[in-house]
């Protein structure tokens, strides 16, 4: 069964990845953003040996592709159970993906700033949780946009 098919019946993330996200990652990411700093894209790779933290300062599509290849190699060589990807970025609502106009969220006038957390299990199953970021002067607030299963992403992979 393809990972995207299996996600339809199991739309909830549980276990160790959930605990790491809820207890640590969300709190730390919000703290960084509230401090006025930008959250560097980061991967937390969980294997039996522990958690490896990898910062990936992307600057273009090629650097994202290189990071993807590197993360896949790290997951394979460490026999990782899962990885968590955390970043601050732009998102936009597309009601029908088949009618996507090709405009990247960062270039769209209707873009929204978000904190994005993705969990990628070794079978390729990917869960995504997003928080809308609203800035008003020096105050920053977050709106939980929920959790979804996704099938397509540059960082969705199995190993």
Selection from 79, 18, 22 nearest residue 45 by Cα = 79
pLDDT < 70 positions in the chain: 1-14, 151-152
| pLDDT, tens only, 9-35 | 344 566 888 888 988 999 999 999 999
pLDDT at position 7 is 39
Helix then strand then coil, % of the chain, to nearest 5? 30, 35, 35
The whole-number pLDDT of residue 69 equals 93
39: helix, coil or strand?
coil
Can you give the pLDDT at residue 13? 65
Q: Decide if 86 contacts 56 (C-beta within 8 A).
A: no
d(CA 127, CA 61): 22
pLDDT at residue number 157 = 81
The predicted structure's pLDDT at residue 152: 67
pLDDT at position 11 = 44
pLDDT at 14: 65
C-alpha 159/C-alpha 147 separation (Å) is 23
Alpha carbons 71 and 135: distance in angstroms, whole number: 32
Predicted pLDDT of residue 31: 95
């Amino acid at each position: 069964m393809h990972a995207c098919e299996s996600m339809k019946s199991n739309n909830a993330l549980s276990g160790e990845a959930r605990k790491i996200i809820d207890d640590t990652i969300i709190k730390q990411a919000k703290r960084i953003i509230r401090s006025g700093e930008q959250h560097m894209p980061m991967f937390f790779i969980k294997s039996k040996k522990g958690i490896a933290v990898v910062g990936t300062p992307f600057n273009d599509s090629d650097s994202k592709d290189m990071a993807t290849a590197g993360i896949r190699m790290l997951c394979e060589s460490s026999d990782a159970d899962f990885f968590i990807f955390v970043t601050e970025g732009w998102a936009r609502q597309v009601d029908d993906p088949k009618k996507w106009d090709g405009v990247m969220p960062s270039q769209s006038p209707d873009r929204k700033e978000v904190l994005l957390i993705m969990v990628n299990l070794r079978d390729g199953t990917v869960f995504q949780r997003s928080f809308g970021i609203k800035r008003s002067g020096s105050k920053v607030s977050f709106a939980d946009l929920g959790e979804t299963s996704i099938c397509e992403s540059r960082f969705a992979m199995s190993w």
